[in-house]
């Protein structure tokens, strides 16, 4: 199986580039933005006034009215959260806003190993026994909870569903549902994360309470944007125009120190400077530490970190989360080694998919393993761990060209008794099946994927922005690029050029320090996590970066892929 990528250069329509330059967008950014579908300067405006209007989200005003009534009658509200970073930030946004609005509100996050995902009948009964709620509010889950909502209805509870996952054929019989992806909703940003949906609900609720004269001093919901930014980046949703505004606004507040104490504590344990915070810090430093609670312990720990204003408490919790993340890394390393050995045993050539199962694997880490294997081999991958009662639980990651949740739906229709439950997105999904059915599922997964994928889909592509003009290889350009919001669906710029290798040495045992030259210009460069001996000429895909050493800033190239150069 070849893992060598096909290097593709994004097309930047010249007309769009010229229009952006006429509107004072720097030429380098104009080219990068045009290659990502930006055609008009208004798409680059990042003020909150440019957010998609809340009125366009189906049922949002109705849910705000229902919540306002519940608050006025001091009903006991209970948020049912998800156990990932999106669910944790959405829960924290809800808790902070609702408490500011005078609500009686608590939360409950299902133990992934006991209750599984979402609003199940079991978690409803557990909520009734332990919290005695009158209104349940789901965040980042609920759109597929047909049985759970039915159980809540039977017990006399009202259920408000806020979610962003794709709905199935039937919707739950909830009191009200807000989800930009539900039928009939024409909200323009279909890629809101769960935390984004909750933020919009709190905006609508504040507007409703304002009309009712409920405020003396109105709560400032913009203070919650750092949490919205973290959850949006952590859930790897597409950074469309709307999501980029949310992330930008959150990052601006983080950089100026206006963030929740829990976020400040997470930056500290991660060794990151919030004054220079970027999407990478949120996605690869804070999110893994937050997710570690849901993977290995209890996400209540993460929610408490984000929702309390006790700075001393957040420092202690952040330390616990950091320790859990180190434990997660050790588990992941062992599981990934076993997964790679399993792939090597398969020795496939025409196979479209990878289904992996090991009884020793940890349920909370299989999603990361699936992601790593998918990235390495460019195949839709599902990794399973043993659950209870003869079941196994899988977490899958897909490639462009294969909508994973829809494929699982197709498998469920073809084999009605195979999948016990499933749900998710185009790129990621979860499922449960009987351990004895693993081989049967693997065959069904492969069969369905072969019908959906083309040979071109199975060729890993590495998208780049082509050659970087030598004149743009400056610290100012690197800072300009770093200040923008890049992420999933709006990827960080990567360039592709030929270099002469003038120097190379191993640093930190795992990394390669390089001296690369293009013509008369030489650059420092780093190849992280790998220490090959490079030939004298290479072709490299790289990011424009900065080396900040002893107060001096210089340009540094971060090499992400290399191959033998021509000539």
Distance CA 417, CA 408 (A): 13
Q: Do 396 and 507 belong together in one domain?
A: no
- How far apart are the two ends of the chain, measured CA to CA in Å? 28
Contact predicate 185/176, CB 8 Å = no
Q: Do 306 and 378 belong together in one domain?
A: no
In CATH, what number is assigned to the domain containing residue 528?
Answer: 2.40.50.460
Distance CA 271, CA 262 (A): 14
Residue 95 sits at the vertex; the CA angle it makes with 286 and 75, to the nearest 5 degrees, is 160
Q: Do 447 and 465 belong together in one domain?
A: no
Tens of pLDDT along 313-332? 999 999 999 999 999 999 99
Q: What is the pTM of this model?
A: 0.92
- pLDDT-derived band of residue 4, with 50, 70 and 90 as boundaries? confident
In CATH, what number is assigned to the domain containing residue 249?
Answer: 3.90.1640.30
The mean per-residue pLDDT over the stretch 490-494 comes to 96
Residue 66 lies in a domain: yes
Please provide the DSSP assignment of 395-412 as one string: EEE--TT--HHHHHHHHH
Q: Is the pLDDT of residue 410 over 90?
A: yes
In this predicted structure, what is the pLDDT of residue 1?
A: 44
Dihedral sign, Cα of residue 41, residue 44, residue 46, residue 50:
positive
Residue 216 sits at the vertex; the CA angle it makes with 212 and 219, to the nearest 5 degrees, is 90
Residue 512 lies in a domain: yes
| Residue reference for tokens 């659950």 | 387
Dihedral in degrees, nearest 10, Cα atoms 177, 180, 185, 187: 140
User: Which of 428, 452, 476 represents a domain boundary (last residue)?
Assistant: 452
In this predicted structure, what is the pLDDT of residue 51?
A: 97
Q: Which of 232, 238, 367 minimizes the C-alpha distance to 294?
A: 367
Quote the radius of gyration of the chain (alpha carbons, Å): 24
Q: Do 124 and 269 belong together in one domain?
A: yes
User: Which residues is 504 bridged to in the sheet?
Assistant: 514
Distance CA 224, CA 96 (A): 8
User: Which of 429, 452, 475 represents a domain boundary (last residue)?
Assistant: 452
Sheet containing 391-397: which strands, arranged edge to edge?
354-357, 381-386, 391-397, 428-434, 419-424
User: What element of type H or E holds 480?
Assistant: helix 475-482
The mean per-residue pLDDT over the stretch 2-27 comes to 91
Residue 24 lies in a domain: no
The pLDDT mean for the chain works out to: 94
Alpha helices, H only, 483-554 = none
Dihedral in degrees, nearest 10, Cα atoms 312, 313, 316, 322: -110
- pLDDT-derived band of residue 567, with 50, 70 and 90 as boundaries? low
Three-state SS for 377-389 is HCCCEEEEEECCC
Distance CA 352, CA 493 (A): 29
Q: Is the pLDDT of residue 449 over 90?
A: yes
User: Which residues is 424 bridged to in the sheet?
Assistant: 429
| Residue reference for tokens 């967008």 | 25
In this predicted structure, what is the pLDDT of residue 347?
A: 67
Contact predicate 140/119, CB 8 Å = no
Q: Do 290 and 344 belong together in one domain?
A: no
Contact predicate 548/510, CB 8 Å = no
Contact predicate 344/373, CB 8 Å = no
In CATH, what number is assigned to the domain containing residue 354?
Answer: 3.10.310.30
The mean per-residue pLDDT over the stretch 74-83 comes to 96
Q: Do 111 and 260 belong together in one domain?
A: yes
Residue 146 lies in a domain: yes
In this predicted structure, what is the pLDDT of residue 348?
A: 62
Residue 132 sits at the vertex; the CA angle it makes with 128 and 133, to the nearest 5 degrees, is 95
List of residues 6+ apart from 443 with CB closer than 8 A: none
User: Which residues is 61 bridged to in the sheet?
Assistant: none
In this predicted structure, what is the pLDDT of residue 550?
A: 83
Task: State the maximum Cα–Cα separation within the chain, in Å, rounded to a whole number.
Answer: 77
Q: How many CB atoms lie within 10 A of CB 403?
A: 18
Distance CA 409, CA 445 (A): 11
* CA distances from residue 553 to 454, 478, 548, 550 in whole angstroms, order as listed: 46, 10, 5, 8
User: What element of type H or E holds 431?
Assistant: strand 428-434
Residue 447 sits at the vertex; the CA angle it makes with 445 and 451, to the nearest 5 degrees, is 115
Number of domains the chain contains: 3
Q: Do 169 and 197 belong together in one domain?
A: yes
In this predicted structure, what is the pLDDT of residue 349?
A: 63
User: Which residues is 547 bridged to in the sheet?
Assistant: 554
Q: How many CB atoms lie within 10 A of CB 61?
A: 16
Q: Is the pLDDT of residue 509 over 90?
A: no
213-217, 389-393, 413-417, 446-450: least confident range: 213-217
Tens of pLDDT along 36-70? 999 998 999 999 999 999 999 999 999 999 999 99
Q: Do 111 and 237 belong together in one domain?
A: yes
Tens of pLDDT along 263-300? 999 999 999 999 999 999 999 999 999 999 999 988 99
Q: What's the domain range around 390? A: 338-452
Contact predicate 76/221, CB 8 Å = no
Residue 8 lies in a domain: no
Residue 27 lies in a domain: no
Q: Do 481 and 356 belong together in one domain?
A: no
Q: What is the DSSP code (8-state) at residue 364?
A: G
3-class state of residue 83 by DSSP: coil
Q: Do 81 and 203 belong together in one domain?
A: yes
Distance CA 397, CA 392 (A): 17
Distance CA 252, CA 258 (A): 9
Q: Do 133 and 186 belong together in one domain?
A: yes
User: Which of 274, 295, 323 represents a domain boundary (last residue)?
Assistant: 323
Residue 2 lies in a domain: no
Q: Read off φ and ψ for residue 473, nearest 5 degrees.
A: -85, 65
Residue 23 lies in a domain: no
108-112, 236-240, 306-310: least confident range: 108-112
- pLDDT-derived band of residue 2, with 50, 70 and 90 as boundaries? very low
Distance CA 285, CA 281 (A): 5
Distance CA 162, CA 426 (A): 19
In this predicted structure, what is the pLDDT of residue 330?
A: 95
The mean per-residue pLDDT over the stretch 366-375 comes to 94
In this predicted structure, what is the pLDDT of residue 117?
A: 79
In this predicted structure, what is the pLDDT of residue 365?
A: 94
Token reading at 144: 């597929």
Contact predicate 423/430, CB 8 Å = yes
Q: Do 371 and 244 belong together in one domain?
A: no
């Amino acid at each position: 199986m070849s893992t060598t990528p096909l290097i593709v250069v994004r097309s930047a329509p010249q007309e769009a580039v010229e229009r952006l330059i006429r509107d004072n967008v720097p030429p380098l950014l104009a080219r990068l933005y045009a290659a990502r579908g930006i055609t008009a300067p208004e798409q680059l405006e990042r003020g909150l006034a440019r957010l998609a209007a809340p009125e366009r989200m189906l049922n949002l005003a109705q849910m705000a009215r229902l919540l306002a009534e519940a608050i006025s009658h001091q009903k006991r509200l209970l948020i049912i959260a998800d156990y990932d970073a999106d669910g944790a930030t959405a829960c924290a946004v809800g808790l902070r806003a609702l408490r500011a609005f005078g609500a009686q509100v608590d939360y409950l996050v299902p133990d992934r190993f006991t209750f599984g995902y979402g609003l199940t009948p079991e978690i409803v009964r557990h909520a009734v026994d332990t919290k005695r709620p009158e209104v349940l509010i789901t965040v980042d889950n609920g759109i597929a909870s047909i049985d759970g909502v039915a159980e809540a209805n039977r017990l006399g509870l009202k259920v408000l569903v806020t979610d962003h996952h794709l709905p199935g054929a039937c919707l739950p019989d909830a009191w009200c549902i807000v989800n930009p992806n539900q039928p009939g909703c024409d909200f323009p940003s279909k890629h809101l994360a769960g935390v984004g949906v909750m933020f919009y609900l709190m905006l609508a609720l504040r507007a409703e309470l304002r009309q009712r004269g409920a405020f003396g001093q109105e709560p400032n919901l913009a203070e919650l944007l750092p949490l919205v930014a973290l959850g949006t980046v952590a859930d790897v949703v597409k950074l469309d125009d709307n999501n980029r505004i949310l992330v930008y606004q959150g990052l601006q507040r983080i950089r100026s120190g206006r963030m929740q104490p829990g976020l400040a504590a997470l930056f500290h344990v991660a060794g990151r400077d919030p004054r220079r915070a970027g999407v990478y810090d949120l996605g690869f430093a804070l999110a893994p530490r937050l997710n570690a609670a849901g993977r290995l312990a209890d996400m209540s720990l993460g929610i408490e970190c984000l929702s309390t204003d006790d700075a001393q408490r957040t420092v202690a919790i952040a330390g616990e989360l950091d320790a859990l993340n180190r434990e997660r890394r050790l588990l992941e390393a062992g599981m990934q080694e076993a997964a790679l050995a399993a792939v090597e045993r398969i020795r496939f050539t025409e196979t479209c998919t990878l289904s992996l199962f090991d009884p020793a694997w940890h349920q909370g880490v299989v999603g990361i393993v699936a992601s790593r294997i998918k990235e390495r081999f460019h195949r839709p991958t599902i990794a399973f761990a043993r659950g209870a009662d003869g079941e196994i639980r899988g977490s899958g990651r897909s490639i462009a060209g294969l909508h994973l949740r829809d494929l699982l739906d197709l498998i469920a229709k073809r084999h009605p008794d195979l999948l016990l439950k499933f749900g998710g997105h185009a790129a990621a999904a979860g499922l449960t099946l009987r351990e004895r059915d693993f081989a049967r599922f693997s065959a069904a997964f492969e069969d369905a994927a072969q019908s959906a994928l083309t040979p071109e889909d199975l060729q890993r592509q590495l998208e780049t922005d082509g050659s970087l003009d030598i004149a743009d290889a400056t610290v100012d350009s690197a800072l300009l690029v770093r200040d923008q919001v890049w992420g999933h669906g709006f990827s960080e710029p990567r360039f592709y050029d030929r270099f002469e290798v003038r120097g190379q040495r191993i640093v930190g045992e795992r990394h390669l320090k390089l001296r690369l030259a293009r013509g008369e210009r030489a650059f420092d460069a780093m190849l992280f996590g790998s220490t090959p001996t490079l030939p004298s000429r290479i072709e490299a895909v790289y990011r424009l970066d900065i080396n900040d050493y002893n107060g001096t800033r210089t340009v540094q190239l971060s090499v992400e892929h290399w191959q033998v150069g021509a000539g």
